[in-house]
Amino acid sequence: MSQNNKQQSIWRKFASLFINFPEENEETAPVDSKNRPAQRKVAPPARAGKNSEPASETGHEPKDAFKRPEADFPFPGKKAKPQVSAKVAPEKTDNVSKIRDLDDDRKKEANDDDEEMLHTAKQEFKEEARELDQCFTSPAGLIHCPPIAEKPEYAPIVSFKNVTKIFNKGTPNEFCAIENVSFEIEDLPDVGEFIALVGPSGCGKSTVLNLIQGFQEVGPPTLGQILVRNRPVKGPGRDRGMIFQKYSSFPHLTVLENVKFGLELNREALGFSDKTMTNLAMEMIKKVGLAGHEDKYPYQLSGGQQQRVAIARTLVLKPRIIFMDEPFSALDEPTRIEMQQLITDLWHEVEATVFIITHSLAEALYLSDRIFMFTPSPGRLNKQIMIPPEAIGKLPGLSPLQVQESPKFKQALKELTDEFLKIGEIN
Ligand SMILES: Nc1ncnc2c1ncn2[C@@H]1O[C@H](COP(=O)(O)OP(=O)(O)OP(=O)(O)O)[C@@H](O)[C@H]1O
Ligand SMILES: [Mg+2]
């Protein structure tokens, strides 16, 4: 056996402790993204993975999850609903015993080189186990983790790798908006994840979203790398859609025309007929609860209705990632609650990854699977908190108001508020 083959074989043996490889001569069945096992609702904390190089650099095909067939666009067939159970940190004891087994079984056959390799692998694994040690479940049932904790199970849809953004660099107005921010968001097939960004005003939340969007006004990161679906961000794309804080509909277009606008803009790429675009727009208008209002102009609508138009305009393009920058902050409380219900319902349908910025911790707690907490300027990702639905009493059939008035929710909110206040003291 050549040295190379031998090394591969050792690595394979080591990795097989954690991954079920097919037998050497077994055919690897192609993965059908539509027939994946049912997914959890809450993703595990992400860790900067070693397998996250862009496809072009690794020479491998991107994972199946990235290849959503165009035929599915813009509405994929019905898929598995997200599970409502949280994934917590994997059992650390398991890892420790695996390391021990590795020692006993493999050491005997390894020569000096192999031993060195095994030693490095074990060190890395122990490092990982140490990081997992830092996750804990609080009395309220929320899972607190450091910003980086675990290797993602699925290829990331968004990777932030040590990103720093300095505006006006080299001028007297130089300003560091975010510093050394790293996270990975898994591309959970057919589910997506709902991530809330919270932090004091000016800590760089919008900057983070604008960087992922590739907006020209923000430019590229000063340091670090941002990947969307394993490719560096070069500008905005149809796979990403934004719902702005202010109503962003065109005042001279009707509701229907506004919702059709994005489809028209991408007419060539999508290849839809006018009739198809109208049907898709009408379908979305109905989904956001505006049926019967399609011929009205934005000034003839209430604030909540205008924001529904903005949501429909974004969702009709079926983006894989949706950004919402304080989308409901201009709405009164009952309308805001209504919109939370709408977003929850629609999200299950669009199966996208959603980033929401909100100053309402209750809204972040209710809507998200995971909360990213940023420190005051320059924004650094201080911690992430997983929100298992059962920890906040988010049971199927309950309205946002019913959930938010439950003792479980209030206890979790108090805990989250305490964490937020602690963050305010950091600098
Ligand atoms: N294009 C820019 N040029 C210079 N400075 C900028 C630019 N964009 C943002 N900043 C600065 O970067 C910092 C972070 O801004 P950002 O809008 O990301 O904060 P934020 O967390 O979204 O705040 P808020 O909660 O108030 O919306 C602010 O101090 C802001 O003035
Ligand atoms: Mg902002």
Q: Extract the residue ranges of the chain whose pLDDT is less than 70.
A: 1-133, 148-152, 245-247, 426-427
Q: What is the arrangement of strands in the sheet containing 175-186, beginning at the earlier edge strand?
A: 175-186, 156-167, 223-228, 231-232
- pLDDT tens track for 223-242: 999 999 999 999 999 899 99
- Work out whether the CA dihedral 87, 338, 357, 353 comes out positive or negative: positive
Q: Where are the beta strands (DSSP E) in 42-174?
A: 136-137, 143-145, 156-167
35 φ, ψ (degrees, to nearest 5)? -110, 25
Q: Are 336 and 326 in contact (CB under 8 A)?
A: no
pLDDT at 96: 37
**Conformational region of residue 16, where left means phi above 0, alpha means psi within -120 to 50, and beta covers everything else:** alpha
pLDDT for 182: 94
The closest ligand to the CA of 324 turns out to be 2
Domain ranges across the chain? 91-133, 249-316
Ligand 1 atom 18: residue of nearest CA: 204
User: In terms of Cα–Cα distance, which of 349, 339, 272 is closest to 318?
Assistant: 349
Which residues have any ligand 1 atom within 6 Å of their CB? 167-168, 175, 177, 199, 201-207, 217, 377
Tell me the Ramachandran region of residue 360: left when phi exceeds 0, alpha when psi lies from -120 to 50, beta otherwise: beta
Q: Are 313 and 261 in contact (CB under 8 A)?
A: yes
Long-range CB contacts (within 8 A, 24+) of 67-72: 67/33, 68/33, 68/320
pTM of the complete model beyond 0.85: no
In tens, the pLDDT along 125-144 reads 555 555 556 788 998 899 99
- For the CA of 178, the closest atom of ligand 1 is 14
- Write down the pLDDT at residue 348: 76
Structure confidence at residue 255 (pLDDT) = 97
Q: Around ion ligand 2, which residues have CB less than 5 A away?
A: 206
- Residue 379 DSSP code: B
Sheet strands side by side (includes 353-357): 136-137, 143-145, 381-386, 370-374, 194-198, 353-357, 321-325, 240-243
Quick one: 147 exposed, middle or buried, by C-beta within 10 A (0-12, 13-18, 19+)? buried
Nearest residue (by CA) to ligand 1, atom 16, is: 204
Could you tell me the distance, in angstroms and rounded to a whole number, from the CA of residue 363 to the centre of ligand 2?
Answer: 16
* Count of Cβ atoms closer than 10 Å to residue 54 Cβ: 14
For position 58, what pLDDT does the model report? 29
Residue 104: strand, helix, or coil: helix
Inter-residue contact 237 to 214 (CB < 8 Å): yes
**Nearest CA residue ID for atom 3, ligand 1:** 167
Instruction: Look at residue 117 in the predicted model and tell me its pLDDT.
Output: 62
Handedness of CA 216, 218, 224, 226 (dihedral sign): negative
- At 118 the pLDDT is 58
Can you give the pLDDT at residue 56?
33
